[in-house]
Amino acid sequence: MNDPSLHRMNVFKNFIIFALYMGLLVRVWAQNFEPIEYLRTLDVSRSSSDESELNTINSLLLGNLLAQEGYAEEGIDLILDNAQRNKNEKLFEIATKLAILSYSGDRALLTTKAWISEFPNSIQAQIAHLKVTLGLQNVTDSLNPLRKVLSLVPSTERTQAIESIPSLYKDVLDFPAAIQVVQTALKPYLQQPAFVFSSHFALAHLYLQAQQYAECLGVLNTLLKLNAKDTRPLIVAFELFAKNYAESEALIQKYLVHPLPKDFRLQYANLLSQQGRYIDAESEIQKSIMLNPTPIDWMILAQTQLDQLKWDNAQSSALKVLELTANEPGLKKQSNLRDRAFLI
């Protein structure tokens, strides 16, 4: 038989929790903080027969309130304790994010370690641990979580995961250590045909970030041999060339021997112009025009000729712009080109 006094107590308890929830929701509405999103998924209106769910609600409410009042560690520990007792992965994630938002790096590291302890094969846990480790500049400690992430990610997503590694390490202070860690983590994938290209590509980017240009160029040459049709290494070579690393030009020219979209040749011409090599830039633009001339090509050529004070040549190129845009002078893009051509 149901005890009326117990029922009233449960109703009152639910009312208090709901009131706290609504008050907290109003206070942090603008923050869009994840505990609130998670609370919305919980049923706070039904009877409190589910004790663990009520404890979860309590820990989220009190933990967030404590954090807002300056007691971040206590709030994080409250949520973390509930996560461990209920083996709730979402609570581990929330505790980690709350620690990060509270600028408590050491506490964030503890939460990710506890998260991994309960869910060792969770990709989210391993990624969170890796990011926190790198955020604390513990670069050498990032090897194991990086290895674990690469092993846990589905094979269909591993190429993307490998190529995202440089972005994870872009803010580290100890690049030599980062390179050593990544090389070690990628060692098994450098020997697998499915991942050899992406692994080398990641290393090339990492060397570029570390300003180790010779090593970067060496890896780019390897990538050319692996797959000359993939133009992404060429973009990295352009970055090297933009940093006045002249040795990268030979690699660029090797790529341009192949039939590539002319945008690559125009980008090369632009870099040459920036370095004051106008004659070489004009030559590259002329090659681009031979492929499939457009008004923009002729306009770029006219500007390059102006930079060399070749007035007659510039005017001839400008006339080509006017000829090619004569049928569609009203289009905004064409109109802008025509205006520039008239000025020449």
pLDDT at res. 58: 58
If you average pLDDT over every residue of the chain, what do you get?
A: 80
**Closest C-alpha among 276, 274, 273 to residue 284:** 273
Residues 24-54: b if buried by 16+ CB within 10 A, e if exposed: beeeeeeeebbbbebbeeeebeeeeeeeeeb
Q: What is the distance between the alpha carbons of residues 91 and 224, in angstroms, rounded to a whole number? A: 46
* Residue 165 burial by Cβ neighbours in a 10 Å radius (0-12, 13-18, 19+): buried
3-state helix vs strand vs coil in the chain, percent to 5: 75, 0, 25
pLDDT at res. 67: 58
Q: What is the distance between the alpha carbons of residues 154 and 15, in angstroms, rounded to a whole number? A: 45
Question: 53 CB contacts (<8 Å, ≥6 apart)?
Answer: 42, 43
The per-residue pLDDT string of the chain (344 residues; one tens digit each, 9 = 90 and over) reads 456 555 555 544 454 444 444 444 434 433 444 544 544 454 444 444 455 555 665 566 555 655 565 666 777 888 888 888 888 898 899 889 888 888 888 999 999 999 999 999 999 999 999 999 999 999 999 999 999 999 999 999 999 999 999 999 999 999 999 999 999 999 999 999 999 999 999 999 999 999 999 999 999 999 999 999 999 999 999 999 999 999 999 999 999 988 888 889 889 999 999 999 988 988 888 888 877 777 777 777 777 877 777 777 777 777 777 777 776 555 445 555 555 555 56
Structure tokens at 54: 């009520």
Are 252 and 234 in contact by the 8 Å Cβ rule? The answer is yes
pLDDT at res. 342: 52
pTM value is: 0.74
